[in-house]
Amino acid sequence: MIAEHYVADVLRESNTLNVLQSRAHGLDHWFRVWKNGQWLTTQSEIKDVDMEVVALFALFHDSMRVNEGNDPEHGTRGWLLWKYLYDGSGHTLTDIQDRQLATACEDHSNGLTHSDPTIAICWDADRLDIHRHGIWPDSHLMSTGAGQILALRRTYPGAT
Ligand SMILES: [Fe+2]
Ligand SMILES: [Fe+2]
């Protein structure tokens, strides 16, 4: 996957990891977002999800936080880190993928839902990890039916 080419670069450049030294918004969270995205795409209602974009979102969306709380521009900074690191060697992002990743990163913390399946999976995968803060996601802010059901049941992907 394309994201694999950038893991080492993000580990080196991430403000969230290297300056903030965050656990709440760091590697553990990024990994769970990726796993949540994979789980959500196994749900039959959801089609045409671009997992390359979901993986890149998981890696970059919270990579450039400057604090653990109100940081409204952190998604845009994560997107800018992607633009800074992207070299296209051995792979290219299509214009559609580029726009999906931009929207997914820039708007992921703005309390929106989205009808694009790939962006919907990115945002729901992120919100489904909010229980790490001791709260459950608002079902009205989930973009997918599977995400809404999990939020209403107050459970998370893979829970038995
Ligand atoms: Fe975020
Ligand atoms: Fe996040």
In a domain, residue 8? The reply is yes
Q: Which ligand is nearest to the CA of 126?
A: 2
| CATH number assigned to the domain comprising residue 90 | 1.10.3210.10
In a domain, residue 89? The reply is yes
At residue 46, the pLDDT reads 87
Q: Which ligand is nearest to the CA of 33?
A: 2
In a domain, residue 112? The reply is yes
The CA 86 to ligand 2 mean position distance, Å, reads: 21
In a domain, residue 158? The reply is no
Domain tally for the chain? Answer: 1
The CA 113 to ligand 2 mean position distance, Å, reads: 15
Across the chain, which has 160 residues, the per-10-residue mean pLDDT values are: 96 98 96 96 89 98 97 98 93 96 98 97 96 88 95 83
In a domain, residue 98? The reply is yes
Q: Which ligand is nearest to the CA of 58?
A: 2
**This model's pTM is above 0.75:** yes
Q: How many whole angstroms separate alpha carbon 129 and alpha carbon 117? A: 19
The CA 76 to ligand 1 mean position distance, Å, reads: 10
In a domain, residue 160? The reply is no
In a domain, residue 34? The reply is yes
In a domain, residue 159? The reply is no
Domain membership of residue 59 as a residue range: 2-153
